[in-house]
Amino acid sequence: MIRVRLPEADPVVTAGVESWLTSHPDISIATDSPADVFVAVEGLVDGFFFESLGETARRIGAVVVLALDNMPDEALDAAVRAGVVTVLPRKTMDRDRLVNAVITASLELTGDEELWEALDEMRATGHHVPVADLDAWDVQLLNLVADGWDSHEIAKKVSLSPRTVINRVQAVVQKCGARNRFEVVAQAVRAGLV
């Protein structure tokens, strides 16, 4: 059972998201800590939003699925640090996309504190984390992830099983030394691949 926590926000949005999620037999709503996935639906975001989101995600031990109107490029690092593993365009979010994003997020492998310390040290000394040599399939996959496609949608498009897509995305994440799919997309955007 995947335990999902929702923020105390707009009650209409929260009720709609809860209804979509609880329609799946493997998802339940956690009303208190801990949770596996934290789902946030927002319009405009700023640095304070991501700081608060990260504190909440760490407190409840969850990764984050975020639905936004717009994700500015400069917010990518803050989103990754907040524990965001999936971003959905709010305009095109529907029940199936949200449920698939939550299921996929619950399967993601997350990094550890040592990785973040190493990244901080590299950034502080002016070094950049390079995107590993990616083949054409890796770049195509990252483009689909960057466009908001979840693993199930990608699997249908490329005629593979969702598990194979999840494994391939995870292999790209590891190849690039990233923590999750969202971070590897952020690296690819910075490198001009996506």
What's 100's domain CATH number? 3.40.50.2300
Banded pLDDT at 76 (limits 50, 70, 90): confident
Whether residue 112 is predicted with pLDDT greater than 80 in this model: the reply is no
Residue 108 is predicted with a pLDDT of 62
Last residue of a domain, one of 59, 90, 108: 108
75 secondary structure, DSSP code: G
Considering the domain architecture, whether residues 101 and 144 belong to the same structural domain is answered as no
Q: Please say whether the dihedral angle defined by the alpha carbons of residues 187, 190, 191 and 194, taken in this order, is positive or negative.
A: positive
C-alpha torsion 100→105→107→108, nearest 10: 140
Last residue of a domain, one of 46, 74, 108: 108
pTM beyond cutoff 0.75: no
- Rounded Cα–Cα distance for residues 60 and 55 (Å): 9
Considering the domain architecture, whether residues 144 and 97 belong to the same structural domain is answered as no
Cβ(50)–Cβ(79) below 8 Å: yes
Residue 18 is predicted with a pLDDT of 93
Q: How far is CA 121 from CA 93, 126, 161, in A?
A: 37, 9, 38
Percent of the chain with pLDDT over 70: 84
Considering the domain architecture, whether residues 1 and 75 belong to the same structural domain is answered as yes
Considering the domain architecture, whether residues 124 and 82 belong to the same structural domain is answered as no
Considering the domain architecture, whether residues 1 and 78 belong to the same structural domain is answered as yes
Q: Environment class of residue 61 by beta-carbon count within 10 Å: exposed (0-12), middle (13-18) or buried (19+)?
A: middle
Considering the domain architecture, whether residues 74 and 2 belong to the same structural domain is answered as yes
Whether residue 150 is predicted with pLDDT greater than 60 in this model: the reply is yes
Segment 151-172 shows an average pLDDT of: 88
Vertex 134 angle, CA 130 and 137, to 5°: 150
Considering the domain architecture, whether residues 144 and 91 belong to the same structural domain is answered as no
Segment 46-65 shows an average pLDDT of: 87
Residue 35 vs residue 105, higher pLDDT: 35
Considering the domain architecture, whether residues 157 and 83 belong to the same structural domain is answered as no
Whether residue 30 is predicted with pLDDT greater than 80 in this model: the reply is yes
Task: Flag the least confident range among 27-36, 59-68, 73-82, 129-138.
Answer: 129-138
Segment 113-136 shows an average pLDDT of: 52
Mean of all residue pLDDT scores within the chain:
80
Residue 109 is predicted with a pLDDT of 40
Considering the domain architecture, whether residues 96 and 127 belong to the same structural domain is answered as no
How many residues are present in the chain? Answer: 194
Considering the domain architecture, whether residues 96 and 12 belong to the same structural domain is answered as yes
Last residue of a domain, one of 76, 108, 140: 108
Domain that holds residue 135: 111-194
Vertex 136 angle, CA 134 and 138, to 5°: 55
Considering the domain architecture, whether residues 171 and 158 belong to the same structural domain is answered as yes
Count of the separate structural domains present in the chain: 2
Chain-centroid distance of CA 60 in Å reads: 16
Percent of the chain with pLDDT over 90: 12
Whether residue 28 is predicted with pLDDT greater than 90 in this model: the reply is yes
Considering the domain architecture, whether residues 103 and 125 belong to the same structural domain is answered as no
